Chains A and B, each alone.
Chain A
């Protein structure tokens, strides 16, 4: 247990970076001649004004939480899965293929939904496998392999949209035709447009991964590989297989996240359908120093900022670029990371649970 004083420093060092990022964002907004309070108001209303808006937040939260859970797994194994964005896209591509070619009857819709989700998981795993094989077998750093594969899948999806899958009338690079209704994930209601099954799936993934990480041999192996590949190998951990399994789990979750974008959010395939959610997931997991427990909460906050910020462009008195959301989120993560360093310098005694080798806190 932590002493009250240690807890107080911990909370203080969480609040200070939050306050600083908000302050810097306020300065930025003022610098471009807008009122920061009005911005806060717009974001809040954009996210929580009514149940439809909250539904919008949940629709970002679902894919973001899925990829973040997956990224906890790869980070735990010491892997930088920047390719997560492309794995989402590959999942979206696979689901889009199924949605257009598996023309099942409307009565089979729930089964078709399940099949498409499974297909998207396969797609994500396929792209994660490529990154993993490049890294593990061929020595290509996963950051660069991932970046290149992200770009590749984007080109492929643009090709599919402007080529084989282009709409019959007015073919353009904007997107495919809307998918047949049985393939789409159903809305809970008009007032709260989310897919309930996917929410359950997110929580199921959260619980399963939590158990796998903390109560199984596999979780222990991941941690061993992540902390020290060499000694893990000497201790008899199958390091290559463990690393690959981390990639595959993350790829599957990212693929499912991608399917949600095309089967629910957009109802068709668009270029960049993954929308930067994979990168945002990386930020979430970095913010939390790879702790899984708080992921669903932080992803909700990030999803709310993201959804709310779309209002910034529309609000007539603001007309601000929605990238402000990314600026705020980026600063938040940056300052939290930097202040962890500051805390270690000034309060070394408050960190008894710090791991000696890695300088990282024991993760929950």
Chain B
């Protein structure tokens, strides 16, 4: 296969990483029954504060570069985790609506990011560098796509498998799914519903924070206003639905979105050629594609539309298509659990 094409695929995997990590984080939070709607703001705030921490360490010259990066990552993960925990607390302890609190935090965190980031706009800082994995990087086809990346990308692969294994192959994962589906039953069987919800909300939020800093230290280095990742939080939330709360499908969804974006931005810079013929149309309109895809995927996975579509299919494939397309949320998603 042509080398340039493989490199393009590799860069798609690279730029998809923040989306992958954020969607995986949201997946475990929602599996526990809590919606963290604040992603679009959390990503921005984690990005700017993580970058600010790493940059400040660089200016002070106190740490070496890997430690500056590590500091930025820790700060960003704490920011994401704190915001998520606030949503968990307001729901579990204060009995507030998760969607309302999450939405307010989306706007608040985005504005806070702009306010605190004003002094950090468009300045260079430390960056995560790529390193090819020995042996794996030399694999034909797979090597250039998956294994000539940076540590965060490798981490996202591991994360995907760990979450899958935890969810579907361990006892802990069984309780995680149970507290999101039937918290009463889980409680009756001895699961600490509230404590687990706090823990998974915290963990999911920390991953969202990591995704945020993956932008400012790698994919879109630095900070600018309006932030480079604006809108991605909402896309990540949609990817979780598209992915049916399953880690593999979620990651696939994130890669698809990133691929579509790469294609549309490539056309906008280089023009579109089909069989050597230049095709001209207002390329600006290509920016609608991710959002049209978002609506379309949500259409496919949610009840009404799919059911109507299935009616026109042969009876034999109906059941399998339904199982393939439908994605049902954890039953207790967004609800409160009261111990009697």
Contact = CB atoms under 8 A, between A and B. Distances in A.
A359 B119 CA distance: 43
22 contacts: A28-B116, A138-B304, A139-B302, A148-B291, A151-B288, A151-B290, A151-B291, A156-B288, A159-B284, A162-B284, A286-B104, A326-B108, A327-B111, A327-B112, A327-B115, A334-B101, A337-B101, A338-B90, A338-B101, A340-B94, A341-B93, A341-B95
A141 interface: yes
B107 A139 contact: no
Interface stretch (B2-10, B66-74, B154-162, B231-239): B231-239
Interface stretch (B190-198, B208-216, B292-300): B292-300
Nearest to A161: B284
Given A155-B284, A163-B282, A337-B104, A320 B118 contact: yes
Interface in A315-336: 320-321, 323-327, 330-331, 333-334
A152 B291 contact: yes
Contacts of B225: 321
B111 A138 contact: no
B282 A134 contact: no
A190 to B, nearest CB: 33
B31 interface: no
Contacts of B287: 155, 158
Interface string B94-106: 1110011101110
Chain A interface extent, by class: 35 or more
Contacts of A321: 114-115, 118, 225
A140 B238 CA distance: 11
Query: Interface on chain B toward A: helix, strand, loop, or mixed SS?
Result: helix
B129 to A, nearest CB: 31
- From A148, A283, A286, name the one whose CB has the most chain B CB atoms within 10 angstroms: A148
A158 B268 CA distance: 15
Contact of B234 (A147, A158, A333): A147
A143 interface: yes
Given A327-B108, A327-B115, A337-B101, A138 B299 contact: yes
A184 to B, nearest CB: 27
Given A138-B304, A144-B241, A323 B294 contact: no
Closest 8 CB pairs of A and B: A341-B94, A330-B108, A326-B111, A139-B302, A323-B114, A139-B303, A321-B118, A139-B304
A282 interface: yes
A163 B114 CA distance: 30
Given A152-B292, A321-B115, A138 B103 contact: no
B260 to A, nearest CB: 14
B303 A134 contact: no
A28 to B, nearest CB: 7
B94 A342 contact: yes
A344 interface: yes
B305 interface: yes
A266 to B, nearest CB: 19
A264 interface: no
Contacts of A147: 234
Interface in B282-320: 282, 284-285, 287-288, 290-292, 294-295, 298-299, 302-305
